[in-house]
Amino acid sequence: MTDGPPIEHRPRQTPLTVFAVAVLAVAIGAAALAISIYLDLERAVTTPRENIQWAAYQIQAEHMRLMLAARDAEAGRIDVDAIDQRYQIFVSRVLILRDGDAYAAMHSIPGYEAMLTRAVDLIPVVDAAIAGGGQDARAYADIVQHHLGALTEPMQQVALKAVSTASREQTEQQLQLRDTVFYLVVSLIVIVAAAIGLAGVTMKQFAALDTGRRDLSVALWRAEESSRAKSRFLAGMSHEMRTPLNAVIGMLREINYRTSDNGIHRLAGIAHASADMLCGLVDDVLDTTRIETGKFRFHNVTFDPAVLVEEVTSVLASRAEDRGNTVAVEIEAPAGRYVTTDRARLKQVLVNLLGNAIKYTADGTITLRASVAPGADDTTLLRVMVADTGIGIPADQHERIFGRFFQAGTNDGLGLGLSITREIIERLGGRIGVDSTPGEGSTFWFEVPVAVSDTAPKPAADPRVRDRLAGVRLLLAEDNATNRQVIRLLLERQGAAFDFALNGEQAVAMALADAYDLILMDINMPVMDGLQALAEIQRRSGRSAPPVVALTADALAEDHERFRAAGMVACVTKPIDETELLATIATVLRRPDIVSGDGIALPPAVPPRAEAQLTSGQREAVLSLISALHDEEDEP
């Protein structure tokens, strides 16, 4: 995946939250102000301010009416009952004022209390005087004027004070209300401004979120596209690398078979080891892609672990020797000679651990110890330990070296081996670890559960045995001259009768014209590719079409599935493994004898060393054949 810029439009939550909290606080403040205004108004309504004035006015008015009535009585205009009625009204007004609600409000008026007390105190005096001599209107009027006339002045004063007090209180209340309303208005302005701001910020954040979401989906799409592109690139790269590797490894194998010169043997061996290493790197990259895409497949077989260890150590022996290392192997297998697990994956693990031990050790000792012994809960464990006396690994890197692309201070390799190794061990149900001290060496160990038995598995085909394909008629469609040559040598050695087609179109024509037992079809060819040719052959030959095996450098399992879905009966991956090709042909043609050897008169197996007896003339012929291969163009 390419490194993209970090997504900038990331929504930031904190300012929005702070803003919202601030607006909420202002709104609560405004609500409190509104409530206080309501309470003020309520108080203003219920406060008997007008009552104060009204009560002061009423008592003054009643007093004045009483005085006027006294004057009228004096002048003989009203009788005693009329003035008595006025007096009683005045008395009841005084008592109401003393006992009623207005008293509490009125007592703040200066002189009020004194006036009222005086009036209240005068009532029994007046009553007694009236009872004593107020039988006619004139006498009644005298008594009233005598006792109550003096109240005129204080009552006027109180009435005036009541008016001024009420108006002052009203003014104060209005000022207070005005201030509160002012604060309320300010708060409302703040709230409205904040709400507008909040809406703006929210919209901005929504826009940012939307942009972020779009950025994310674009980034996701790019990441997926880049991952797809990576897989396509890796598949393409593996194809491109495996095609020449196919040729290199095939040619080196042929050199080994044909030459008797130990020097050439050795050179070819080194070249073979290098090509194998290159193949290993390509496989590591492919395995990493397979792990990423969940297509890392496993296949269990029964095998002898001692043979596997022997195979791995012999493959790496020359590399160990070149670095001055001694490799010691110790094998204990008391629990059964043969084990069942994924042999190929286990080989990959052993090659990686032993390869690393050799790579990071110079002039030292490497010990490979393997044992098959009972583990916990009725399981049997294959335990392997690879110890070296090399550079060692600092403790803080013991875990990190199992990560992808990690290399501790070296850039020799891709840093993929141990991550694949751990994936394999864990997928096999086991565990892996390392103990190491810098400068002293490292011990990598792993254990995987295995099934054990003492029954030997069926032997694999020995590629050194010849003429296994005698009597088999094959058509090989392959556009690459070097590949044709590699397969030609193999098929010749196995005694097959075969023809070559240089592209799909030729393959179709030849398949229709002749009867072949089997067609080996390359996928990528000019003019008409392998899949088109297969479809054409099946369309035109119907049921009599021979089985077609895909011969491909595409190593990804999904490609193989695609080829099978298109009608290929099997897939063989380049560089071609002779045993695999023979086993595939045997399976497709239902001829187990091809690999088991039964029913075929096989010449005795000839190990490469025995071929060292070639004459110098023969050797020259082989060498000229090899150099001719380089010049060969598109000829069968």
Binding site for ligand ADP (CB under 6 A): 352, 356-357, 360, 388, 390-391, 393, 401, 406-408, 410, 413-419, 442
Task: Tell me the closest approach of the beta carbon of residue 333 to ligand ADP, in angstroms.
Answer: 25
Neighbours of 321 (CB within 10 A): 12
Nearest to 600 by CA among 608, 592, 610, 590: 592
Q: Which residue has the tokens 């009585």?
A: 73
Asked whether 546 and 516 are in contact (CB, 8 A), the reply is yes
CB proximity list for 178: less than 8 A, separation 6 or greater: none
Q: Which is nearer to ligand ADP, 106 or 366 (CB)?
A: 366
Give Cα separations from 433 to 99, 226, 357, 450, 458 (angstroms): 101, 33, 14, 18, 33
Task: Tell me the closest approach of the beta carbon of residue 550 to ligand ADP, in angstroms.
Answer: 31
CA separation for the pair 439, 152 (Å, rounded):
122
Task: Tell me the closest approach of the beta carbon of residue 292 to ligand ADP, in angstroms.
Answer: 16
Q: Which is nearer to ligand ADP, 141 or 366 (CB)?
A: 366
SS3 302: strand
Q: Which is nearer to ligand ADP, 246 or 352 (CB)?
A: 352
Q: Which is nearer to ligand ADP, 132 or 403 (CB)?
A: 403
Q: Which is nearer to ligand ADP, 312 or 583 (CB)?
A: 312
Task: Tell me the closest approach of the beta carbon of residue 237 to ligand ADP, in angstroms.
Answer: 18
Q: Which is nearer to ligand ADP, 170 or 407 (CB)?
A: 407
Task: Tell me the closest approach of the beta carbon of residue 321 to ligand ADP, in angstroms.
Answer: 17
CA separation for the pair 127, 134 (Å, rounded):
9
Task: Tell me the closest approach of the beta carbon of residue 328 to ligand ADP, in angstroms.
Answer: 15
CA separation for the pair 10, 155 (Å, rounded):
79
For residue 86, with 0-12 CB atoms within 10 Å meaning exposed, 13-18 middle and 19 or more buried, which class applies?
buried
Task: Tell me the closest approach of the beta carbon of residue 342 to ligand ADP, in angstroms.
Answer: 19
For residue 334, with 0-12 CB atoms within 10 Å meaning exposed, 13-18 middle and 19 or more buried, which class applies?
exposed
CA separation for the pair 581, 584 (Å, rounded):
5
Tokens of residue 319, six digits: 């590399």
Looking only at the bridges linking them, the beta strands covering 570-573 and 548-552 are: parallel
Q: Which is nearer to ligand ADP, 416 or 569 (CB)?
A: 416
Task: Tell me the closest approach of the beta carbon of residue 284 to ligand ADP, in angstroms.
Answer: 8
Q: Which is nearer to ligand ADP, 303 or 360 (CB)?
A: 360
Q: Which is nearer to ligand ADP, 110 or 394 (CB)?
A: 394
Asked whether 1 and 404 are in contact (CB, 8 A), the reply is no
Q: Which residue has the tokens 């690393």?
A: 356
Task: Tell me the closest approach of the beta carbon of residue 413 to ligand ADP, in angstroms.
Answer: 2
For residue 488, the Cα-to-chain-centroid distance in whole angstroms is 51
For residue 357, the Cα-to-chain-centroid distance in whole angstroms is 36
Q: Which is nearer to ligand ADP, 171 or 437 (CB)?
A: 437
Q: Which is nearer to ligand ADP, 176 or 407 (CB)?
A: 407
Looking only at the bridges linking them, the beta strands covering 473-477 and 518-522 are: parallel
| Closest residue to ligand ADP in the complex (CB) | 413
Full strand arrangement of the beta sheet holding 548-552: 497-501, 473-477, 518-522, 548-552, 570-573
For residue 428, is it left (φ>0), alpha (ψ between -120 and 50) or beta? alpha
For residue 271, with 0-12 CB atoms within 10 Å meaning exposed, 13-18 middle and 19 or more buried, which class applies?
middle
Task: Tell me the closest approach of the beta carbon of residue 386 to ligand ADP, in angstroms.
Answer: 8
Q: What is the dihedral of CA 559, 560, 561, 567, to 10 degrees?
A: 110
What per-residue string of b and e applies to 541-552 under the rule 16 or more CB within 10 Å gives b? Answer: eeeebbebbbbb
Nearest to 581 by CA among 518, 538, 507, 623: 518
Residue 409 is classified by DSSP as S
Q: Which is nearer to ligand ADP, 288 or 506 (CB)?
A: 288
Task: Tell me the closest approach of the beta carbon of residue 280 to ligand ADP, in angstroms.
Answer: 10
Task: Tell me the closest approach of the beta carbon of residue 408 to ligand ADP, in angstroms.
Answer: 3
Q: Which is nearer to ligand ADP, 405 or 454 (CB)?
A: 405
CA separation for the pair 159, 165 (Å, rounded):
10
Asked whether 73 and 82 are in contact (CB, 8 A), the reply is yes
Task: Tell me the closest approach of the beta carbon of residue 405 to ligand ADP, in angstroms.
Answer: 8
Looking only at the bridges linking them, the beta strands covering 570-573 and 326-332 are: unpaired
Q: Which is nearer to ligand ADP, 267 or 414 (CB)?
A: 414
Residue 527 is classified by DSSP as S
Task: Tell me the closest approach of the beta carbon of residue 371 to ligand ADP, in angstroms.
Answer: 20
